[in-house]
Amino acid sequence: MEIIAAETHSYLRAKKKFPNVWCAGCGIGIALGAIIRAIDNLKLDRNDVAMISGIGCSSRMPVYVDFNTLHTTHGRALAFATGVKLANPKLKVIVITGDGDGLAIGGNHFIHTCRRNIDITTILINNSTYGMTGGQYSPTTPFMKLGTTAPYGNRERDFDICSLAKSAGATFVARGTVYHVTLLEKLVQQAILKKGFSLVEVISHCHTFYGRLNKEGTAVKMMEWQKEHAIPIQAAAKLPPEKLKDKFLIGTMWDVDFPEYCEEYDKVIAQFQVPPEDSEGKK
């Protein structure tokens, strides 16, 4: 365990950017550990990794890690990441976002990046609220749950993130939780290896705002909820519908192949490039 921790810590900007902004007990640190271990397991050179985020609790993550990093504007991480990937397709581009940043302010970027199938891995940490700005309801706040901007209960339906990504065109879609951290690490690895747009939704918790407003208890209690309500997709296939009531699925939801955007873009460029000998002849 000490060796694993030392490897994880070697990827952090420990002397420059700590202590972090996350509340004690927050799940984002667990997600960070899983992402670092996935990158370490794949033996990726950290100089070949670009981690990009927008604004929010989860979007502080790139600040703390020793990769190429961009901490950008609210909801625009995927737009910046698209530019980075097109400029340098050899980079492994990983976007860190939250449910508010990625699906509200950045919702349009999200669906079109899925549709474009550019080779970017997005880790979307879903804690059902805007944590950094005070607990406002987000696109994933469940129906009738409370937020500081929904004091009488949220009357909007929440997004099913994995279904949204699949229907918008993502070629790899998975869901994990910060409780099932070993599975989460494997899902992140699969997503990074996928050629095309890959999404991993990470169910996490915000005990400071969402948990307190909705009387869901401590961080430990909220992680116990994840344990009790998550069902691996393979196990769910063998269960009757009544056993799946109030549960959610974890694992790989969707994995297909489709032409990747950067490669297709290069084909267009090549189609209209004039060979050097022809160019000289014209002169």
pLDDT digits (tens, 9 = 90+) for 181-209: 999 999 999 999 999 999 999 999 999 99
Q: Cα(278)–Cα(46) distance, rounded to whole angstroms?
A: 41
pLDDT at position 221 is 98
Angle between helices 28-41 and 2-9 (to 10 degrees): 90
pLDDT band at residue 220 using 50, 70 and 90 as cut-offs: very high
Place of tokens 């209960």: 153
Angle at 155 between CA 151 and CA 159, to 5 degrees: 115
The pTM (predicted TM-score) of the whole model is 0.94
How does strand 49-53 pair with strand 198-203? Answer: unpaired
pLDDT digits (tens, 9 = 90+) for 66-112: 999 999 999 999 999 999 999 999 999 999 999 999 999 999 999 99
pLDDT band at residue 3 using 50, 70 and 90 as cut-offs: low
Alpha carbon separation from 235 to 74, 118, 247 (Å, rounded)? 38, 31, 12
Q: Which residues pair with 126 in a beta bridge?
A: 203
Q: Cα(173)–Cα(214) distance, rounded to whole angstroms?
A: 29
pLDDT at position 244 is 95
Q: What are phi and psi of 147, to 5 degrees?
A: -140, 165
Q: What are phi and psi of 73, to 5 degrees?
A: -90, 165
Q: Cα(100)–Cα(140) distance, rounded to whole angstroms?
A: 8
What is the pLDDT averaged over residues 219-238? 97
The closest of 7, 14, 72 to 39, measured between CA atoms, is 7
- Counting residues of the chain whose pLDDT is more than 70, the rounded percentage is 96
Question: Looking at the predicted structure, is the pLDDT value of residue 217 above 80?
Answer: yes
Question: Looking at the predicted structure, is the pLDDT value of residue 121 above 90?
Answer: yes
Q: Cα(55)–Cα(72) distance, rounded to whole angstroms?
A: 7
pLDDT digits (tens, 9 = 90+) for 9-40: 899 997 777 889 999 999 999 999 999 999 99
Cα separation of the two ends of the chain: 67
pLDDT digits (tens, 9 = 90+) for 144-166: 999 999 999 999 999 999 999 99
Alpha carbon separation from 207 to 124, 128, 130, 253, 267 (Å, rounded)? 18, 11, 12, 27, 49
What is the pLDDT averaged over residues 119-144? 97
pLDDT at position 281 is 58
Q: Cα(10)–Cα(81) distance, rounded to whole angstroms?
A: 25
- Counting residues of the chain whose pLDDT is more than 90, the rounded percentage is 90
- Cβ-contact 191, 198 below 8 angstroms: yes
pLDDT at position 265 is 96
Instruction: Name the helix (H) or strand (E) containing 69.
Output: strand 68-71
